[in-house]
Amino acid sequence: MTPPRAGFFLCINNYMTDNITNFNYLSPTGFKVVVGRENYKHLQYFAQSVQHPGLEVQGVEVPYKRTNVSFTGNFIQNSTLTMDILIDENMESYKEMYDWMLRMVNEEHELVSPRGAIVPSSYADITVSILTSANNANRSIKYRNAFPTSLGDIQFAATSTGEYIVFPVSFKFDYFEFS
């Protein structure tokens, strides 16, 4: 078998570059998080990392004669949204998450809230804005009806190398959308 000529690759390369309009790479530090701004201001300010969840469509196996035939599934299963949050000296970022989880658990047991009390919902939309190389919002991913499912460990260590303490938090959500 003879190798293709150099002109063949040049033609493919020119075709591909004609369709690409942005050659800038996505920076791992170019993001901003907003979580129910009025209730969770510390969470959005101290967010250090966000792991966008994976998606999975389960195939359906149907037996046919002596084998199984696979068909596409009919729903998308989202993984969890995970963030690492930096803890401030007053531990306000941790306390916001702790209070949110505690409120979720106690919410169905408390039928009446104190008069005049404004109780935040157990659900909040989380928006992750993706920033360009000039730090302008380019795209955003909005996770609808998110709620925390896991509040991670905090490790204090006398032999620390000067790194600041972060804690992981995981969220479930209904779906996400790009804008």
User: From the CA atom positions of the chain, what is the Rg in Å?
Assistant: 23
- Residue 176 near residue 78 (C-beta atoms within 8 A): yes
Q: Where are the domains of the chain?
A: 31-110+119-178
Give the whole-angstrom CA distance, residue 13 versus residue 16. Answer: 5
Q: Looking at residue 10, what is its pLDDT? A: 47
Question: Which parts of the chain register pLDDT below 70?
Answer: 1-18, 37, 107-120
Compute φ and ψ for 105, nearest 5 degrees: -70, -40
Give the whole-angstrom CA distance, residue 86 versus residue 94. Answer: 9
Domain 31-110+119-178, CATH 2.30.110 — does that match?
yes
Residue 100 has what DSSP assignment? H
Distance of CA 35 to the CA centre of its chain: 11
Compute φ and ψ for 51, nearest 5 degrees: -110, 110
Name 12's Cβ contacts closer than 8 Å, sequence gap at least 6.
none
